[in-house]
Structure 1
Amino acid sequence: MKDFIFLFRADYKDLGQASPEQMQARTQKWMDWVGSIAAQNKLSSRGNRLNPAGKVVKKGNVVTDGPFTEIKESLLGYIVVKAETIDEAVKLSEGCPILASDDTSVEVREFDVI
């Protein structure tokens, strides 16, 4: 099996404020989806959510606020799954709660073995 990373992308501004009940419901959907992958023994890492604040370091040690403030879409978090092929990994991404909103995505990438 190979490892694939799911990168979750959305606009932080479009996520809006949620009540505690809404947050609990969202969290439960994520737990159920990740749990379904784990139940198939295909979860390598639960990953993490990412804080929207950050820095971008470029050549010459140029540091700017980031990440990538010039683009609308932000990287919100990730998980790592096991699959035989990228098509199988894509199939595992189906049902991801982030896909319930417009202008969101799951980027599926294979790790290169070095």
Structure 2
Amino acid sequence: MSTYILTFRNDPTRQPTAEQEQAWVSWFGEIGEHITDSGSRVGRAVMLGDDPASPDQLSGYVAVSADDLDSAVKLASGCPGLTYGGRVEVGEPVVM
């Protein structure tokens, strides 16, 4: 198994409902055995680079273990943020 990083991006003005918050709790419960670092929510963030005016921003991250990148993507596909316009990026750390 390898470790993969899931980063979450959302509209910074989004105010989650209680139902959406519960969906995150439920999803973390479902993938719990794969979580290697429970990560954190992110408050304010500043984007550097080519498109600093992106309409969404980093809102959190978590590290998971999975057999391969496809398996990590499958875990990420259940992210509740995807149902209300959020995005998830799945990254495979490079070991140097």
2:10 paired residue number: 10
1:89 paired residue number: 72
SS in 2 for 1:70: coil
| Aligned-partner Cα distance in 1 for 2:47–2:27 | 27
- CA deviation map 1:39-82 (0-9, x unaligned): xx211111100012x4xxxxxxxxxxx23442212010001000
| Aligned-partner Cα distance in 2 for 1:95–1:12 | 21
Q: TM-score, normalised by structure 2?
A: 0.85
SS in 1 for 2:26: helix
1:57 paired residue number: none
Gaps spanning 5+ residues in structure 2: where? none
SS in 1 for 2:53: coil
| Aligned-partner Cα distance in 2 for 1:105–1:67 | 15
Structure 2 counterpart of 1:30, one-letter code: W
| Aligned-partner Cα distance in 1 for 2:10–2:80 | 12
> Given the alignment of the two structures, is residue 105 of structure 1 paired with residue 95 of structure 2, yes or no?
no
1:67 paired residue number: 47
Q: TM-score, normalised by structure 1?
A: 0.73
Task: Write 1 or 2 for the structure with the bigger share of strand.
Answer: 1
Equivalent pairs counted in the alignment come to 93
Gaps spanning 5+ residues in structure 1: where? 55-65
SS in 2 for 1:12: coil
Whichever of the two has the greater Rg, that structure is 1
Q: CA RMSD in A?
A: 1.6
